[in-house]
Chain A
Amino acid sequence: MPNMSLKKVKMREQAPDIRNGNFNEVALGYTAEEAVEEAARCLQCKNRPCTVGCPVSVKIPEFISKIAAGEFDKAIDIIKETNSLPAVCGRVCPQESQCEALCVRGRKGEPVAIGRLERFAADRSMEKPAAERNTAPKNGIKVGIIGAGPAGLTCAGDLAMMGYDVTIFEALHVAGGVLVYGIPEFRLPKEIVRREIDNLKILGVKIECNFIVGKTMTIDELFENGYQALFIGSGAGLPKFMGIKGENLNGVYSANEFLTRINLMNAYREEYDTPIKDFTRVAVVGGGNVAMDAARCAKRIGAKEVYIVYRRGMDEMPARREEIHHAQEEGIIFRLLSNPVEILGTEDGWVRGMRCVEMELGEPDQSGRRRPVPKAGGEFEMEVDGVIMALGTSPNPLISSTTEGLRINRHGCVEVDDKTMMTSRPGVFAGGDAVTGAATVILAMGAGKKAAVAMDQYIKAKNKQS
């Protein structure tokens, strides 16, 4: 008998006024009993609408039925058939616009908590040592993956399972990409990322850190070293600034720098050497998930007041509802329909405030959202000593500028064939944010997966010819 409750089984969380003073995970996960109870809400629909919404096609009803039956090991095996980073996806996927958006239970009441169940199964399996998985016999063919973020890690895992000799080249000193430098500990504990990466190493994937493709070696030099195919998953790492006066004052950060200092370099922990500025009042400019992450981090390192300054309204915010909700609970103040026009400095060059203009919403623009236009006479000043620019990012030109014949579009994104994921350079594939511009972890993983299949086909076809 399914559980007909209209609501999801609640997941325990740290209380807002406690958690905004620490970096521990906010959401605490389901117990076995809670997971079984929630799993029983799944109706096991024959036409499986939820699976259509998943970029990596997780067999959702199947794994949920195993949780309902208490067979947790089998549940995670089913997930891992198509998803190599389930503990990550269970936490950071926007399920509300993917699998859960299509859940039949969501028509009346809340959908099944697919994300929480995925997280439960993944966390549960991590309590035990990782077992060697069934993989194809090793074929000795070298393939290279550029960037150890979600796209690259997924592509690497799938190719390793097919038997390839896979090496990942990572520019930073640890693997994980945005999962380690961008998404904060309280949303995605780094220990979880480390364990997912350890699982890839068990599959035989090699990871070369401190290796900047385009600088340490070029794409052409990698081919000379015997790689049969390459995948570019270098993400979208370049920060944007507004181009307004005062942006180079001391105390203005890109969200990338601010989050990297905190997440990757552990600036908030006493035993680490990396410094970060002590703010009192901070304005975070932007309305995406990165803006929410930056604001919540600023609060946690001790800022008394943290503002989100966004030029459109709440409905237009690109951040996940859950992230906005968490930020509000933690005391982040939202200054909507406000656009910075100048950052004000002290005589010796430190931020002392920000001048903004009030906005109102006009006609819809290309994105379908109503375009914000400045209101006459709507200027106001905010007193802040820190400003964090979270305006989005674009792909890094380090690879495209050193690879002849690699076509990019006017946004700096690598162009690929939609079906094969191959770039204008034969044997060079690409996916994730490097191709789409900044998007989600799961879309990057989906692209990495698709590219792995295409790379396998490409190598097989090439070797047949010769």
Chain B
Amino acid sequence: MYRIVEKRVLNPEVKLMKIEAPLVAAKAKPGQFIIFRVDNVGERIPLTIADTDPERGLVTVIFQEVGASTMKLGSLNEGDFIADFAGPLGTASHLDGLKKVCVIGGGLGCAIAYPQAKHLHRSGADVDIIAGFRTKELVILEDEMRENSSRLYVMTDDGSYGEKGLVTAKLGELLESGEKYDAVIAIGPLVMMKFVSLATKPYGIKTIVSMNPIMVDGTGMCGGCRVTVGGEMKFACVDGPDFDGHLVDFDEAIRRSAIYRAQEREAAEKHACRLRGGDGNA
């Protein structure tokens, strides 16, 4: 059992939790993930590690309540325990030697982009962050991102905060104005990562994306997380989650992410109903 030491509500859709898992905290590197199970009937769900505190043995995860399992996790409080928390899994991001980097986070993706930006900033790189959200009330980690970057550009789809527009618009603007990046790191919805990769391709800028496909075990056993990269079949859980954005088949990945959408919706509705204490007719 793993204890929830801290819980914070970052916005109406996104929560942060610090979980006591000393072995994971001691080993985790940026880009790696964990698999959790809330209880004995729960699914195994992967979440990217947002931060660690090895001294206190804590691992930070940031998640959006999109399905039954994340809703269940979100309903727990400080002092509660979850059944399983395994990791660190996946290959750590290769961030060494990068001097000037543009880190792009889309919505919840900022939670994963942030530790990468922090690592780069602390190792002396010049880091620009473009953080995109749908609207003002969904903005997360603004202070943290500002502290760990040379420049932070906050974008909102509706213009209610920062600049109005998509992250790709800002990226295009920066590239056109002659900014030279060693690499662009894009983490967020698949569609966003696809268009960031398309935008950087003409400039030949190395573009790293972080894939978060459906998986079961997270150790290479199920093959559910397979992605096509440069025409080859890769398993995101062990070969990734980071891949070269110019080689990833995003259309296939978008399609595969929808395999259980109907069942997920049904399970989430059932769960929401249970939480409200309703009888299903509510």
Known contacts A273-B69, A275-B267, A212 near B220 by CB under 8 Å: no
**A405 on the interface (CB 8 Å rule)?**
no
Q: Which residue of B lies closest to A253 (CB)?
A: B224
Question: Do A217 and B27 have beta carbons less than 8 Å apart?
Answer: yes
Residue pair A349, B219 in contact (C-beta under 8 Å): no
| Residue A171 CB within 8 A of the other chain | yes
A454 is an interface residue with CB less than 8 A from chain B: no
CB–CB B27/A396 < 8 A: no
- CB pair A171–B223 under 8 Å, yes or no, is no
Q: Measured between alpha carbons, how far is A375 from B37 in the docked complex, in Å?
A: 49
Task: Say yes or no for A97: interface residue by CB 8 A criterion.
Answer: no
Judged by a CB distance under 8 angstroms, whether B233 is at the interface is yes
A457 on the interface (CB 8 Å rule)? Answer: no
Question: CA A75 – CA B199 in complex, angstroms?
Answer: 73
Mark A284-312 against chain B: 1 for CB-CB distance below 8 A, else 0.
Answer: 00000000000000000000000000000
Q: Is B280 an interface residue (CB 8 A)?
A: no
Task: Please classify the interface of chain A as helix (H, G, I), strand (E, B), loop, or mixed, using the class held by over half of its residues.
Answer: loop
A238-261 residues at the B interface, CB under 8 angstroms: 238-239, 241, 243, 247-248, 250-251, 253-254, 256-257, 260-261
Q: Are B87 and A216 in contact (CB under 8 A)?
A: yes
Known A216-B24, A248-B228, A250-B258: A171·B219 in contact at CB below 8 Å: yes
Contact A216 B23 (CB under 8 A): yes
- A-binding segment of B41-49, B123-131, B153-161, B180-188: B41-49
For B264, list chain A residues within 8 Å (CB): 275
Min CB gap B100→A, angstroms: 31
Interface string of A212-247 (1 = CB under 8 A from B): 100111000000000000000000011101010001
A403 proximity list for chain B (CB < 8 A): none
Residue of B with least CB distance to A349:
B255
Residues of B within 8 Å of A348, CB to CB, are 255
CB distance from B242 to the nearest CB of A (A): 16
- Determine whether B252 belongs to the interface, using a CB cutoff of 8 Å to chain A: yes
Report chain B residues within 8 Å CB of A453: none
Among A130-183, those with CB < 8 Å from B are: 171-173, 181
Set of chain B residues within 8 Å of A215, measured between Cβ atoms: 27, 87-89, 219
| Contact (Cβ within 8 A) B83 A173 | yes
Q: Is B68 a contact of A273 with CB atoms below 8 Å? A: yes
| B23: A residues at CB distance < 8 A | 211, 216-217
Let me know if B256 and A172 touch, CB within 8 A. no
Interface residue? B217 (CB, 8 A): yes
Question: B42 contacts which chain A residues (CB < 8 A)?
Answer: 273
List, in ascending order, chain B residues with CB within 8 A of A172's CB: 217
Contact of B260 among A171, A271, A275 (CB under 8 A): A275
In the assembled complex, the Cα of A248 lies from the Cα of B228 at a distance in Å of 8
Give Cα A257 to B89, complex, Å.
18
A238 to B226 CA separation, bound complex (whole angstroms)? 12
Q: Is B216 an interface residue (CB 8 A)?
A: yes
B220 and A238: CB pair below 8 A? yes
Interface hits, B36-62 → A, CB 8 Å: 37, 41-44
Are A216 and B216 touching (Cβ within 8 A)? Answer: no
- Min CB distance A389 to B, Å, is 8
- Measured CB to CB, the nearest residue on chain B to A266 is B41
A257 in contact with B41 given A216-B23, A241-B233, A250-B258 (CB within 8 Å): no
B123 vs chain A, min Cβ distance (A): 23
Contact of B44 with A265 in the complex, beta carbons under 8 Å: yes
Whether B260 lies near A256 (C-beta < 8 A) is: no
The total of Cβ contacts below 8 Å across the A-B interface reads 108
Min CB distance B264 to A, Å, is 7
Q: B86 contacts A212, CB within 8 Å? A: yes
Bound CA span A254–B214, Å: 14
**Least distance between A214 CB and chain B CB atoms (Å):** 9
Identify which of A171, A211, A212, A251 gathers the most chain B CB atoms within 10 Å of its CB.
Answer: A212
A210 within 8 A of B: yes
Q: Once bound together, how far apart are the Cα atoms of A146 and B199, in whole Å?
A: 46
Which of B23, B217, B255, B259 has the most C-beta atoms of chain A within 10 angstroms of its own C-beta? B217
Partner of B44, one of A173, A256, A349, A398: A173
Which residue of B43, B216, B219, B222 is within 8 Å of A273 (Cβ)?
B43
Check A260/B222 contact, CB under 8 A, given A212-B89, A248-B256, A273-B43. yes
- Chain B, range 212-250, C-beta contacts under 8 Å to A: 216-217, 219-224, 226, 228, 233, 238
| A171-B255 in contact (CB<8A) | no
Which of A215, A237, A348 has the most B CB atoms < 10 Å from its CB?
Answer: A215
Q: A212-B86, A215-B87, A265-B43 are in contact. Are A273 and B220 (CB under 8 A)?
A: no
Q: Are A237 and B228 in contact (CB under 8 A)?
A: no
CA A349 to CA B261, docked complex, whole Å:
14
Decide yes or no whether B281 CB sits under 8 A from chain A: no
Shortest distance between the CB of B15 and any CB in chain A (Å): 18
B114 at the interface (CB under 8 A from A): no
Q: Would A239 and B222 count as touching, CB distance under 8 A?
A: yes
- Distance in Å: Cβ of B241 to nearest Cβ of chain A: 14
Q: How far is the CA of A243 from the CA of B267 in the complex (A)?
A: 34
Contacting pair B267 A256 (CB below 8 A): no
CA distance A169 to B221 in the complex (A): 17
Q: In the assembly, what is the distance between CA of A241 and CA of B41, in Å? A: 30
CB-CB under 8 A from B233, the residues of chain A are 241, 243, 247-248
A398 adjacent to B216 (CB under 8 Å): no
Instruction: Pick the residue among A260, A265, A271 that contacts B221 (CB under 8 A).
Output: A260
Given contacts A215-B89, A237-B220, contact A273 B41 (CB under 8 A): yes
Interface contact A396-B221, CB-CB below 8 Å: yes
What does the 1/0 interface line of A376-401 toward B look like (CB < 8 Å)? 00000000000000000000111000
- The answer to whether the Cβ of A277 comes within 8 Å of any Cβ in the partner chain is yes
* Contact in complex: B216, A257 (CB < 8 Å): yes
Known contacts A217-B27, A349-B255; A210/B222 CB under 8 A = no
CB within 8 Å for A241 and B217 given contacts A217-B27, A265-B44, A348-B255: no
Determine if B84 is an interface residue (Cβ-Cβ < 8 Å).
yes
Point out the residues of chain A lying under 8 angstroms from B226, CB to CB.
241, 248
9 contacts between A and B (CB under 8 A): A171-B86, A212-B219, A217-B27, A248-B228, A256-B222, A273-B42, A275-B263, A349-B252, A398-B220
Given contacts A239-B222, A243-B233, A251-B259, 15 further A-B contacts (CB under 8 A): A171-B219, A211-B23, A212-B86, A212-B89, A212-B219, A215-B87, A237-B221, A239-B223, A248-B252, A254-B223, A264-B216, A275-B264, A275-B267, A277-B260, A349-B256
3 closest Cβ pairs, A-B complex: A257-B222, A210-B86, A275-B263
B: residues with CB less than 8 A from A are 23-24, 27, 37, 41-44, 68-69, 83-89, 216-217, 219-224, 226, 228, 233, 238, 252, 255-256, 258-260, 263-264, 267
